[in-house]
């Protein structure tokens, strides 16, 4: 467990400093941590350092080794998420467009965003509803608000 303003984060991955999952307490769609994965803070010192710097407002872009095998569809959505700059937001429809997916796939894009295994590092909190409203976040809307305020998007 790694303490954070969101609650204790569980950092996990297949080997030291290769991160595959960050989950917050009570997260919907929490990633299934594999039995052979590491789950102790000492294995993820760089991830912990960068998360602390992010929460202190000192880091805007993460530089970590990630391991998130998935389908081609989710990979495209997650790569588009990874490209979203700090302090910006995007709609699900625009995210679909940037991922090179048809507009009709917006619901599926929402599903891929909701199953993002790397909360905070892969910025799914930056995705908003079509009308700019706060919509679902696997960690809960209060945490989404916190992250968007931290990044200066919400007052």
Per-residue pLDDT of the chain (155 residues; tens, 9 = 90+): 889 999 999 888 888 888 888 877 776 665 666 666 766 667 789 999 999 999 999 999 999 998 888 899 999 999 999 999 999 999 999 999 999 998 888 899 999 998 888 989 999 999 999 888 898 888 889 999 999 999 999 76
Q: Does the residue 53 lie in any domain?
A: yes
Name the token pair of 93. 């429809």
Q: Domain count of the chain?
A: 2
Residues classed as catalytic:
124
Q: Does the residue 1 lie in any domain?
A: no
Record the pTM: 0.89
Q: Does the residue 2 lie in any domain?
A: no
Q: Give the structural domain span for 146.
A: 69-150
Same domain, 77 and 109: yes
Q: Does the residue 37 lie in any domain?
A: yes
How far is Cα of residue 143 from the mean position of the Cα atoms in its chain? 12
Same domain, 55 and 100: no
Stated as kind and residue range, the H or E segment containing 48 is: helix 45-55
| C-alpha span between 48 and 38 (Å, rounded) | 14
Same domain, 133 and 98: yes
């Amino acid at each position: 467990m790694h303490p954070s303003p969101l609650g204790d984060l569980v950092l996990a991955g297949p080997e030291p400093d290769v991160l595959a999952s960050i989950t917050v307490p009570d997260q919907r769609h929490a990633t299934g941590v594999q039995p052979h994965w590491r789950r102790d803070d000492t294995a993820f010192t760089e991830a912990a350092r960068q998360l602390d710097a992010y929460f202190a407002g000192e880091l805007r872009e993460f530089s970590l080794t990630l391991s998130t095998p998935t389908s081609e569809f989710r990979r495209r959505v997650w790569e588009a998420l990874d490209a979203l700059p700090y302090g910006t937001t995007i709609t699900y429809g625009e995210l679909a467009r940037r991922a090179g997916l048809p507009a009709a796939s917006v619901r599926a894009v929402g599903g891929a965003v909701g199953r993002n295994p790397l909360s905070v590092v892969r910025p799914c909190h930056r995705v908003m509803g079509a009308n700019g409203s706060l919509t679902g976040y696997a960690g809960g809307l209060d945490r989404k608000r916190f992250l968007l305020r931290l990044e200066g998007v919400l007052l």
